[in-house]
Structure 1
């Protein structure tokens, strides 16, 4: 696989948003399922991340979603763990766990598991972003040769969704 097959992180957008968050004195928290800490890891690489990155939860397992983020098992059973409904519930739990100005939650399917998912396809990503009390959520479908390509596209989508929220202030 050559470098042209891999998506690239939009560092210009990341730097722009990070600077705005820092100037406002806001705090950022993340709840990740599919990306297993990738989003928070990229955010943490920013020079001033320590001034605004409050915390993150990697909720790869359904029990973590339930016991740490307070996602109802009934909600997971009804919609599956890879759904916009569960992503929004993760965001709500994140707000309780890490009171912050900005929250980002993500679920999805970056690769096929042992059993075929009943509704989601590989590349389906569910994002929820909140700025203060205003929340926006969206479903995406990304193509990629591997999970890393889908993670990077999902990271960029989270930046653009947050940028939309920031444009409303």
Structure 2
């Protein structure tokens, strides 16, 4: 399913529940929020997006402890989980997605190569994380991240 179709299904599902969502984005720089708000009527189900590209923004806007980032790095499971939890605490929503990764072409390492992305989702049922590694250039990694984030939101709806 392409991104626009995922958004339309997500919109229908959120509206049917009376739910709203928020995003907490690092490596995508607001592309998930942009995909959501490309849909007409998105104000009915999309509340806000946090673009927390820097570590300071993750701490200041989402409450991610600086010590957590220092201990694990920004691209990590604990930080993705904390970003998703921070978004649900800082917005009147029932569902959030967070992404933090290395989109490239620079910034990769042996432990976290280009294409490494950690996802976090927060719902009333709890929080979930997942790791993926996407191939391709920066645009391909970011597009795959948006697609997977949206699909993950759909999977976590009750």
TM-score normalized by the length of structure 2: 0.92
Matches within 5 A, 1:78-93: 78-93=71-86
Mapped contact 1:32–1:58 kept (Cα < 8 A): yes
How much has 1:134 moved relative to structure 2?
Answer: 2.5
Structure 2 counterpart of 1:141, from 115, 122, 133:
133
- Tell whether 2:155 aligns with 1:164: yes
How much has 1:118 moved relative to structure 2?
Answer: 6.3
How much has 1:116 moved relative to structure 2?
Answer: 4.9
Mapped contact 1:9–1:152 kept (Cα < 8 A): no
How much has 1:60 moved relative to structure 2?
Answer: 0.3
Q: Which consecutive residues of structure 1, in runs of 5 or more, have no partner in the other structure?
A: 1-7
RMSD: 1.6
Structure 2 counterpart of 1:30, from 10, 20, 23:
23
Mapped contact 2:108–2:114 kept (Cα < 8 A): no
Q: Which consecutive residues of structure 2, in runs of 5 or more, have no partner in the other structure?
A: none
Q: In the aligned structure 2, how far is the partner of 1:163 from the partner of 1:69?
A: 23
Structure 1 counterpart of 2:90, from 83, 89, 97:
97
| Structure number, greater radius of gyration | 1
Mapped contact 1:84–1:139 kept (Cα < 8 A): yes
Q: In the aligned structure 1, how far is the partner of 2:116 from the partner of 2:71?
A: 18
Residue aligned with 2:81, SS = helix
How much has 1:151 moved relative to structure 2?
Answer: 1.1
Structure 2 counterpart of 1:19, from 12, 26, 35:
12
Q: In the aligned structure 2, how far is the partner of 1:117 from the partner of 1:62?
A: 18
- Structure-1 residue corresponding to 2:47: 54
